[in-house]
């Protein structure tokens, strides 16, 4: 179990968010439009990076080109109260074994998702996220949160370069691995800790589930020759060497076989 305290303020089209971890390693994450800053008090470091964050809170824009109804059957399960608010309970049952199922509780007034459960193919609970306390329509305090985000005194700012690109532009092709998962963009990251070369991240979504495929230069000191896999709740991780020069890691809240299929679809353009 992990817990966080979240602030989200909007003024017109502007919005800012602050997420403070209340368990585990101390950290505070700020998001202002596309910029995300992660404060790590123990290391006295602030990591700054850009991420695509479409939509206006509490509504989130649909992923591009996806059709969830083709891959999930929707069923209404009545109403329940979550964090003191009336919510509609919905079940999204997957139509195949390539994705997990979901139970989602939606606030009847705002449309905000107030609780979500991820279920495996047998309907067993893998992971749950929910609000324990929720205050909406309070006076916006965007400027105060923004001041906290800009207060870097005593911290070292580390910017993570991010370049929008395509897999093809980086010398790779990503085949159609699993029906319903549509590319949401690819990014090249020049990570300082990776002296062997840049990291390519390609993101896919079916409208509910999201996964990332990372391609990086193979490093014998860090990567094993065999397949690696790990599981934590709904999140699965699979990695293995692809081609003689690259290591591919797939991460997402989907079954491990889905990640394996994505890795198998990665090819060098010159192959």
Mean of pLDDT values over 132-136: 92
Question: How many residues does this entry show for the chain?
Answer: 271
**pLDDT class for 65, splitting at 50, 70, 90?**
confident
Helix (H, G, I), strand (E, B) or coil at 241: strand
Q: Are residues 61 and 15 in the same domain?
A: yes
Name the residue range of residue 121's domain.
Answer: 4-150
Rounded to an integer, what distance in angstroms lies between the CA atom of residue 30 and that of residue 33? 10
**What pLDDT does residue 44 have?**
97
Judgement on whether residues 165 and 140 belong to the same structural domain of the protein: no
**220 lies in some domain:** yes
Last residue of a domain, one of 94, 124, 150: 150
* Average pLDDT along the chain: 89
Cβ neighbourhood burial of 58 (10 Å; 0-12, 13-18, 19+):
middle
Query: Is 239 inside any structural domain?
Result: yes
Over residues 115-127, the mean pLDDT reads 95
Q: Who wins on pLDDT, 51 or 110?
A: 110
Tell whether 112 and 53 lie within a shared domain. Answer: yes
- Count of domains forming the chain: 2
Q: Verify that 145 and 14 share a domain, yes or no.
A: yes
Tell me whether strands 101-107 and 156-159 are parallel, antiparallel or unpaired: unpaired
pTM: 0.87
Looking at the fold, whether 127 and 225 belong to one and the same domain comes out as: no
Q: Is the peptide bond before 9 cis (omega within 30 degrees of 0)?
A: no
More confident call, 37 vs 191: 37
Top-confidence residue, 7 or 13: 7
Q: 56-70, 87-101, 156-170, 196-210 — which is least confidently predicted? A: 56-70
- The pLDDT, as a whole number, for residue 244 is 82
Out of 118, 150, 182, a domain closes at: 150
Q: What is the CATH number of the domain that holds 219?
A: 3.30.200.100
Tokens 């695509």, located at residue: 52
């Amino acid at each position: 179990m992990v817990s966080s305290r979240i602030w989200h303020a909007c003024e017109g089209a502007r919005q800012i968010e602050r997420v403070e971890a209340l368990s585990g390693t101390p950290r505070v994450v700020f998001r202002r439009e596309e910029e995300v800053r992660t404060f790590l008090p123990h290391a006295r470091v602030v990591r700054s990076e850009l991420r695509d964050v479409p939509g206006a809170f509490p509504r989130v824009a649909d992923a591009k080109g996806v059709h969830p109804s083709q891959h999930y059957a929707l069923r209404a399960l009545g109403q329940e109260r979550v964090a003191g608010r009336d919510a509609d309970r919905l079940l999204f049952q997957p139509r195949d074994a390539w994705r997990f199922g979901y139970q989602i509780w939606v606030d009847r007034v705002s449309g905000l998702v107030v609780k979500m459960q991820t279920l495996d193919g047998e309907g067993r609970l893998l992971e749950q996220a929910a609000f324990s306390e929720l205050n909406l329509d309070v006076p916006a305090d965007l400027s105060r949160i923004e001041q906290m985000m800009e207060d870097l005194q005593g911290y070292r700012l580390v910017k993570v370069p991010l370049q929008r690109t395509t897999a093809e532009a980086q010398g790779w092709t990503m085949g159609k691995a699993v029906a319903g998962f549509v590319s949401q963009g690819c990014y090249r990251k020049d990570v300082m800790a990776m002296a062997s070369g840049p990291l390519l991240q390609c993101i896919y979504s079916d409208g509910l589930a999201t996964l990332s495929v990372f391609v990086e230069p193979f490093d014998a000191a860090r990567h094993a020759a065999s397949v690696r896999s790990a599981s934590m709740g709904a999140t699965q991780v699979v990695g293995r060497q692809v081609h003689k020069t690259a290591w591919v890691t797939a991460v997402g809240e989907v079954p491990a076989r889905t990640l394996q299929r994505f890795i198998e679809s990665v090819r060098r353009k010159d192959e």
